[in-house]
Chains A and B, each alone.
Chain A
Amino acid sequence: MYVADSRASKAPVSAEGAARYAVAGRRRAAVAPTVLALGAVSLVTDVSSEMVTAVLPLYLVTGLGLSPLGFGLLDGIYNGFSALVRLVGGHLADRGGGRHKWVAGLGYGISALCKPLLLVAQTLTPIGLILAADRTGKGLRTAPRDALISLASTPENRGRAFGVHRAMDTAGALLGPLVAFLILRATVDGYDAVFTVSFCVAVLGVLVLVLFVPGGRQEAGGGDGARPTLRAAVGLLRGRDLRRIAVCALLLGLATVSDSFVYLLLQRRLGVPDRWFALLPLGTAAAFLLLAMPLGRLADRVGRWAVFLAGHGALLVAYALLLTSWHGTALPYVVLALHGGFYAATDGVLMAAASEGVPEALRSSGLAVVQTGQALARFACSLLFGTAWTLWGDRAALAGAAGALLVCAVFSVVVRPKGAVAV
């Protein structure tokens, strides 16, 4: 937060768009002030949203006395909608020569406005709609935000820039539940206080974005003649490198079992006690937080694709450990560390890799295409995995996922995109 301010104060913040000064001739700090500012925005926003996520089940059951069952039916429909929102966000951000900041701001703003609405919603239907709006804001802002990060960093340090951002983002996700429970502890049924504080924090995030993330209009067409039209966005996939990245991300996504299944398997196969079940996601997040930056730097040095694939290798090892009948006390920790490492090696690194094959004028659209493909593939995987679990049991389903992951990883090694930076 304050780091971002002090850095930002030294940066030439002007209407020309900081996106351009990434290529300024002088030696700059390894991580651009814009990236730190965006990291601060994400950190603060994640504190806000995870505060709500952490107390929501409690609020529904004990605060409102609802039985929140059979409510997941919207999720499937919503996943398709959210993919569309992501693509729209990416396209809008590229229109008019780079409105990344304002589209991202709109997304953050929508999510912020959802928080006070939770204070007045007393039944499941409006709460469901509010959460859908919140996630719409998230979908809208993801691609423009990543485009801003990628435009504000040089190709040589892009992996690190994304690593720094993801680490800050995850730090917020870890802090959110903590803040929420401190408030609940200090009050009686203080859900209203949690939502109010969450709203204040979200507003702060939007403010930091507006004040400290440069985003003026740049000259349309960043010197590579690409015009941000819908046709051009679709045409991006004709570029061999981006197409390969998108296809590989999609294939690997098809073999990435969703987090909740991983935690269920951990519990069932390794006998993690019930009382620790709620803490499992924190283990993944902690590993992600610690490894995001080092792995981002590593990706800059040895090549993004190599690290991206190694991350899937870590996931494969985690699957294998879940499949073995070996039961050590350290095993859950190892699996969670590998799971977090997988995110650290793939989440930001994929965006850094995809940035190579996309002209600046279409950066948001290109990243949105890759993200959407991956998200839809992961959703398809969770449906397939659930079905396989039903038909053949958890072990066979996981073995199937591991096999699929191995095949997709080998394929991705073979068709490796050429765009990797050699240093």
Chain B
Amino acid sequence: MTVRSRILILVSAVAVLVAVGVASVLHASARAERRDHVQAGGPKVTSGTVTLTGHGRMVFRNMAWGPHRDELTRVPESDPAGARTASGVKCLRFYAASGTGVCLQAVHGPVSDTYRALILDARLHTRDRYDVPGIPSRARVSPTGHFAAWTAFVGGDSYAGTNFSTRTAIADTRTGELIPSLEAFRIVKDGHPYRATDVNFWGVTFAADDRTFYATLATEGRTYLVRGDLRTRTVTAVHANVECPSLSPDGTRVAYKKRVKGLSKDAPWHLYVLDLRTMRETALAEPRSVDDQAVWKDARTIVYALPGDYGADLYQVPADGSGRARRISTAAVSPAYLP
């Protein structure tokens, strides 16, 4: 083959490949156009004032298409599928309690995205900013509003690796003091101090005493529920196979994801509630695999997200294992209830 024909082949191939590439990018950016338009039949969203001090409301990240996509939005707790009021503040993950919010958001830089955690006051103004070292995954505020915690996925630095670790941070919202990683805490497991490099923490949930918290500890391929103490900086393993715990308002029970044997590796979790006094596990009436840190709407009801047409929908199920799951809201994620 002559050099000329080689170059000719290359040039024509490049033309075809460029066309395919450009077409795929254009197709994906047309999606942006579509998502900026309100879907027919979707929830009605209007701009307005959202505060974290109201009563009988739910504040969440709105995922419905249109100009208010990804914004913090409020609805009446009694009518979660009703008209939505959007705040203009965009978050990937969100939680709030006692007039303090935590909002994990992406910062679009010139070459890549970075992430940060904002501590919000009751009027959604930023009080504090922290860098988040990876892709945000979980966020919580203590019942008093004095502490906030978040988890990020960090990793994937080997060639096409899918090896992740998590980094969980806790911030004191009054002083601004940050614990960058729970891995600095002492670990007690089976009554002995425990150390390992493969330790990961995720999914903090706080008790009302501003001292106790619960979280998931993963090591050697297993997960544990740990009880943490902010004063002594210690975590103690109390139960095995617990992920993304969520402490009930009275502090006696934990709703969590449990890895159930026999389920597929891609959807291995079921929702359970653990009674912390008797250590009894109760399976909840949600047959699907849930990958979320659930929220207690009240002492009897658990709310959580499942994948939906617009990203995620919210469902609720009784906390005692009775009844059945029902959808309460479409195109919504990261709910926080303002009682």
A and B: interacting chains: yes
Complex formed: what's the CA distance from A245 to B131 in Å?
Answer: 45
Interchain CB contact under 8 A, B166 and A274: no
Interface of B is mostly: mixed
Say if the beta carbon of A57 comes within 8 Å of chain B. Answer: yes
Tell me, yes or no, whether B46 is within 8 Å of chain A by CB.
no
**B-side contacts of A71, CB under 8 Å:** 162-164
A54 within 8 A of B: yes
The CA-CA distance from A33 to B221 in the complex, in Å, is 50
Residue from the list A72, A181, A390 in contact with B163, Cβ < 8 A: A72
Which chain B residue lies CB-closest to A267? B133
Of B48-56, B105-113, B295-303, the stretch lying at the interface with chain A is B105-113
A324 at the interface (CB under 8 A from B): no
Cβ of B311: which chain A residues have Cβ within 8 Å of it?
65
Indicate if the CB atoms of A72 and B162 lie closer than 8 Å: yes
The contact string, 1 if C-beta is below 8 Å from chain B, for chain A 371-396, is 00000000000000011011100000
Tell yes or no: B42 within 8 A of A by CB: no
B contacts with A, residue count (CB < 8 A): 60
Number of inter-chain CB pairs below 8 Å: 170
Question: Complex: how many Å from CA A72 to CA B18?
Answer: 35
Closest Cβ of chain A to B321, distance in Å, is 24
Q: Which of B3, B25, B92, B160 contacts A53, CB < 8 Å?
A: B160
A134 near B160 (CB under 8 angstroms)? Answer: yes
Give chain A's interface residue range (CB within 8 Å of chain B). Answer: 35 or more
Chain B residues with CB below 8 A from A399, complex form: none
Nearest chain A CB to B252 CB, angstrom units: 27
B29–A69 contact, CB under 8 A? no
A197, B9: Cβ atoms under 8 Å?
Answer: no
Task: Determine if B144 is an interface residue (Cβ-Cβ < 8 Å).
Answer: no
193-232 of chain B: CB within 8 A of chain A: 195-198, 200, 218, 221
- How many Å from the CB of B310 to the closest CB on chain A? 12
Check: A58 CB closer than 8 A to any chain B CB. Answer: yes
Closest approach, in angstroms, between the C-beta of B130 and any C-beta of chain A?
8
Residues of A83-138 at the interface with B, using a CB-CB cut-off of 8 Å, are 123-125, 127-128, 131, 134-135, 138
Decide if B135 touches A273 in the complex (CB within 8 Å): no
Chain B positions within 8 Å of A389 at CB level: 197
Q: Is A207 an interface residue (CB 8 A)?
A: yes
Task: For chain A, residues 140 to 197, give those with C-beta under 8 angstroms from any C-beta of chain B.
Answer: 177-178, 181, 183-190, 192-193, 196-197
- Contact call A273/B131, Cβ cutoff below 8 A: yes
Residue of B nearest to A181 (CB): B112
For A260, the chain B residues whose CB sits under 8 A away are 155, 157-158
Complex CA–CA separation, A193 to B25 (angstroms): 5
Cβ-defined contact, A200 with B160, below 8 A: no
Residue of B nearest to A180 (CB): B112
Main SS at interface, chain A: helix
User: By the criterion CB–CB under 8 Å, are B28 and A278 in contact?
Assistant: no
Q: Please give the residue numbers on chain B whose beta carbons come within 8 Å of chain A beta carbons, in ascending order.
A: 3, 6-7, 9-10, 13-14, 17-18, 20-21, 24-25, 27-29, 31-32, 35, 92, 108, 111-114, 131-135, 137, 153-164, 166, 180, 195-198, 200, 218, 221, 264-267, 291, 307, 311-312
Interchain Cβ contacts under 8 Å between A and B, 30 examples: A49-B160, A53-B156, A57-B162, A60-B162, A61-B135, A61-B137, A69-B166, A70-B218, A72-B164, A75-B161, A124-B266, A125-B265, A135-B159, A177-B112, A183-B28, A186-B25, A188-B28, A190-B28, A190-B29, A192-B24, A192-B27, A193-B27, A193-B29, A200-B18, A204-B13, A211-B9, A275-B114, A278-B112, A278-B134, A390-B195
Residues of chain A touching chain B, judged by Cβ–Cβ distance below 8 Å, are 5, 8-9, 13, 49, 52-54, 56-58, 60-62, 65-73, 75, 123-125, 127-128, 131, 134-135, 138, 177-178, 181, 183-190, 192-193, 196-197, 200-201, 203-204, 207-208, 211-212, 259-260, 263, 273-275, 277-278, 281, 386-387, 389-391
Q: A53-B161, A67-B137, A260-B157 are in contact. List 16 more A-B contacts (CB 8 A).
A: A5-B7, A9-B3, A53-B160, A56-B156, A69-B166, A71-B164, A134-B160, A181-B111, A187-B25, A190-B29, A196-B21, A200-B20, A200-B21, A207-B13, A211-B10, A390-B196
- Give me the 8 closest cross-chain CB pairs, A-B, nearest first: A72-B163, A187-B28, A190-B28, A123-B266, A196-B24, A274-B133, A193-B28, A200-B17
